[in-house]
Amino acid sequence: MASVLRTAAQARPAVARTALRPASRLTPVVLHRKYAAAAAAARAVSSDSGERSIFPDEPSGPSVKTAIPGPKSKQAIERLSKVFDTRSLNMMTDYQRSYGNYIADPDGNVLLDVYAQIASIPVGYNNPSLLLAATSPEMASALINRPALGNFPQHDWADILETGILSVAPKGLDQVFTGTTGSDANELAYKAAFMWKRQQQRGGAGVDFTDDEINSSMQNQSPGAPQLSILSFSSAFHGRLFGSLSTTRSKPIHKLDIPAFDWPQAPFPECKYPLDQYAEENAREEQRCLDETERLIKEWHNPPAAIVVEPIQSEGGDNHASPNFFRGLRELTKKHDILFIVDEVQTGVGATGKFWAHEHWGLSSPPDMVTFSKKAQTAGYYYGNNELRPNKPYRQFNTWMGDPARAILFRAIIQEIERSNLVQNTANTGAYLYDGLARLAEQYPKEIQNLRGKGQGTFIAWDSPRRDEVLKTAKSQGVNIGGSGAQAVRLRPMLIFQKHHADILLEKLDTIFKS
């Protein structure tokens, strides 16, 4: 690993020496020209292993100069806490000095970031291509003339969607409803499911609402406000807005004091890891959960209009199940004529070594809706069935209905992913990293328990009996890592994370475990 670090340091071009100078001293034009030049250099730089470096001008490794938080960070935190709640703060960040896979703070500390804003940074801090997109006239217009898209869409909105968001639509889903956040995306998908179900029950899109439905809806009463539900799973996380929060089951702190809908919760399989080594036991557990899911579909007093599920339960502890489980869910939704919503807010956009995590499942038919956000930098849900469009205007509506500026950014992200083949890079790096972690697990069996994520790109996690201590110590070693659930350490590196970054991470973890 040390040789990899030395090689990375030798491979960095001269521009690297200036990569972490305060960006605020440079004009935006100088910045994007500088980074564009660095991007061009990236095409020609390789490591001894033959791996082409995607960000050769990023730091060669972490640099920790002070405790974290250091004196400047503490001062900034104290000032911020007077006007903003800082109790959930992870670290104070200087984004102008962050670059590639590395996150910087005001004290000059530079950390390898394998948490990436809770899985939300796709192609690196201050990515040159994104900087160019951000300073384009098209972006400037979208920012200063933000349209109310439902009423006043800009003339090229279809082109922006077709060349960006829809160019990576999951197979079988050729339409999109755009939103702002992951919670927003799920809420919108739930609304679409309810309107679809009631339209079915009413007799089709051409059947108008009755006076009873219209009047009762204004009293929050049935039939206008129908007694329907969305079925979710134990340990699920789908957001913090009212509808999405009623499907969230990960931690009490998210739900306390908030009124909730009377919606069913099915058990998510409590599988043993690695999945393939416990295939028989896991199959029995998954079948138990499928049986209970079907019972709830048939018997819950507020019938489900849809099932919503994460391909990998992230906030709830990085819980995995086999493709058979998800194929079973798909068959149940078809059997009982309800919708199948796949929440890809965290797993989508390449993180699992496929552009969409549900591509690993081999479904007989596509999901009815796939929600997205985070790495896409925009949000919404994909769908293919025209019946999921409300039968009248203003039923699925808000002022913004998304944001063209963020859609333009996602288009640039997609182009960067395709140009550098970053989904395949993530699959390759993930396999390499998983093997390295498996070796560490053999060496430190008390530190790495239930290692999971094999074959899922860099979407890897393990359980640690001293998780919080590990996360804190990692910062002192120059690595920013996140947790999930009660004791999981979850890795969420960017799509530009490569094998030489994995070597740094493995080396730092080895140091942490020795301590």
**CA-based nearest residue to 425, from 347, 499, 346:** 499
In one letter, which amino acid is 315?
E
Return the CATH fold of 1-135: Aspartate Aminotransferase, domain 1 (3.90.1150)
**Could you tell me the pLDDT band of residue 51, with boundaries at 50, 70 and 90?**
confident
- CATH number belonging to domain 141-417: 3.40.640.10
CB 296 within 8 A of CB 231: yes
Domain ranges of the chain: 1-135, 141-417
List, in sequence order, the alpha helices (H) in 357-466. Answer: 404-419, 422-443
Copy the structure tokens of residue 133.
């997109």
CB 309 within 8 A of CB 236: yes
Residues 6+ apart with CB under 8 A from 64: 109, 110, 111, 475, 476, 477, 478
**Could you tell me the pLDDT band of residue 48, with boundaries at 50, 70 and 90?**
low
Copy the structure tokens of residue 394.
């203003």
- Least confidently predicted of 4-8, 193-197, 358-362: 4-8
**393-439 per-position pLDDT tens digit:** 999 999 999 999 999 999 999 999 999 999 999 999 999 999 999 99
CB 105 within 8 A of CB 94: yes
State whether residue 65 is helix, strand or coil.
coil
Q: How many CB atoms lie within 10 A of CB 45?
A: 17
State whether residue 343 is helix, strand or coil.
strand
pLDDT at 365 over 90: yes
Cα 413 to Cα 167, 241, 496: the distances in Å are: 12, 27, 12
**Could you tell me the pLDDT band of residue 4, with boundaries at 50, 70 and 90?**
very low
* Residue-level pLDDT at 515: 84
CA distance 106 to 108: 6
Copy the structure tokens of residue 272.
């043993």
Element (H, E) at 10: helix 2-11
Q: How many CB atoms lie within 10 A of CB 170?
A: 22
* Residue-level pLDDT at 45: 44
**91-110 per-position pLDDT tens digit:** 999 999 999 999 999 999 99
Task: Name the more confident of 23 and 86.
Answer: 86
* Active site (catalytic) residues: 237, 343, 374, 399
